[in-house]
Amino acid sequence: MLGFDRSFRLTPATIAICYFVLSSTWILFSDRLAVTLIDDPSRVAWVQTAKGWFFVAVSALLLYVLVSRSQRELEQSNERLDAVVQQTSVLHRVLRHNLRNTCNVIRGTTERLQSGDDVDDAELLAIVADETDSLVELSEKTSQLRTLVLDERDHTAEIDLVSVVEASVDEARETTPGVEFRTELPRHASVEVHPRFALVVDELLENSLEHNAHDELRIDVSVRTVDGATVLEVVDTGGGLPEIEQDVLELNVERPMLHSEGLGLWIVRTIVTASGGEFRMVDNDPRGTVARVSVP
């Protein structure tokens, strides 16, 4: 996270105005003060010389500070721009890939319905409904990621991660009664993170549920402190994260022939990065996936 208020930016004009105001104020008041306090003209001349050299030194230091801060702002703006370009590329590829696939499924299904062949209409209509739901979900997550990427505000919020995890797990238990959820949580875990950090927990749980059959699936969620950092882990006993998803996360950008089937993990990574944390996914032993989020 950035350490300055973005409402005040150091442009060349701002630097010039600051320098003009400060230097004019210094010259005006220091000259008057020297003449008022010193009666000896020779001493006044000596003081004026010393004051001039002092002014040069202070001016150089001031310009260095202002230009350095302006350069940092420029570098951070470039970093934000790179992130926006990368995420825009992700959105474009995921949308193009998933929209094409989903539309092809819907089109093929409707053609079978119209063919008049002996088909199970209810089953085909269920396929169309499922694909339509996936399009709605894709649209919602795309909107969430776009909002996260384009939000230039530098702000965090203090939350109790334990309360957030408990709420997410309780909701998941209600919607997926066939899955066993286990938690290992302290009483409290206050963290300073992105205001929408609750999405991280929701998306990690959803990812475990989406990629695995619910029969005999167990999901363990834990929060603990490791070396001064707060670590959230979501561990499942499913079939593991699809290789294509692992490649997307490790490469940090999608290649033309590499597509993420969903945007959930991209949302997780974006929020965790904005919180100053780290996000990793590794294989669980003997099977399944471990999603690990660490925030300061």
Give pLDDT, residue 89: 74
157-295: which CATH topology? Heat Shock Protein 90 (3.30.565)
Please classify residue 203 by burial: count the beta carbons closer than 10 Å to its beta carbon, then call 0-12 exposed, 13-18 middle and 19+ buried: buried
Give pLDDT, residue 47: 75
pLDDT band at 149 (very low <50, low <70, confident <90, very high): low
Closest CA to 289 of 229, 204, 200: 204
Q: Is the pLDDT of residue 295 over 70?
A: yes
Assigned token pair, 57: 């030194």
% of the chain exceeding 70 in pLDDT: 82
- In sequence order, what are the residues at sequence separation of 6 or more whose Cβ sits closer than 8 angstroms to the Cβ of residue 266? 87, 90, 145, 260
pLDDT digits (tens, 9 = 90+) for 37-76: 777 777 777 777 777 788 778 878 877 887 888 788 788 7
* CA dist., res. 203 & res. 140, Å (int): 13
Question: What's the CA angle centered on 102, arms 197 and 207, to 5 degrees?
Answer: 30
Contact 235, 288 (CB under 8 A): yes
What is the number of other CB atoms lying within 10 angstroms of the CB of residue 237?
Answer: 18
Going by the DSSP 8-state scheme, the letter that residue 260 receives in this structure is -
pLDDT digits (tens, 9 = 90+) for 88-109: 776 777 777 778 888 888 888 8
* CA dist., res. 276 & res. 294, Å (int): 9
Q: Is the pLDDT of residue 177 over 60?
A: yes
Long-range (24+ apart) CB contacts under 8 A made by 105-111 are 105/131, 106/131, 106/132
What is the number of other CB atoms lying within 10 angstroms of the CB of residue 56?
Answer: 10
Closest CA to 177 of 217, 130, 210, 220: 217
Give pLDDT, residue 6: 46
Contact 209, 179 (CB under 8 A): yes
Give pLDDT, residue 241: 67
Question: What's the CA angle centered on 281, arms 276 and 284, to 5 degrees?
Answer: 140
Give pLDDT, residue 288: 83
DSSP for 226-246, please give it.
ETTEEEEEEEE-SS---HHHH
* CA dist., res. 145 & res. 148, Å (int): 5
Going by the DSSP 8-state scheme, the letter that residue 286 receives in this structure is S
Contact 147, 184 (CB under 8 A): no
Q: Give residue for tokens 């965090």.
A: 156
The average pLDDT across 235-251 equals 66
pLDDT digits (tens, 9 = 90+) for 255-293: 443 444 557 788 888 889 889 999 988 888 777 889 999
Assigned token pair, 63: 């310009």
pLDDT band at 231 (very low <50, low <70, confident <90, very high): very high
Give pLDDT, residue 222: 96
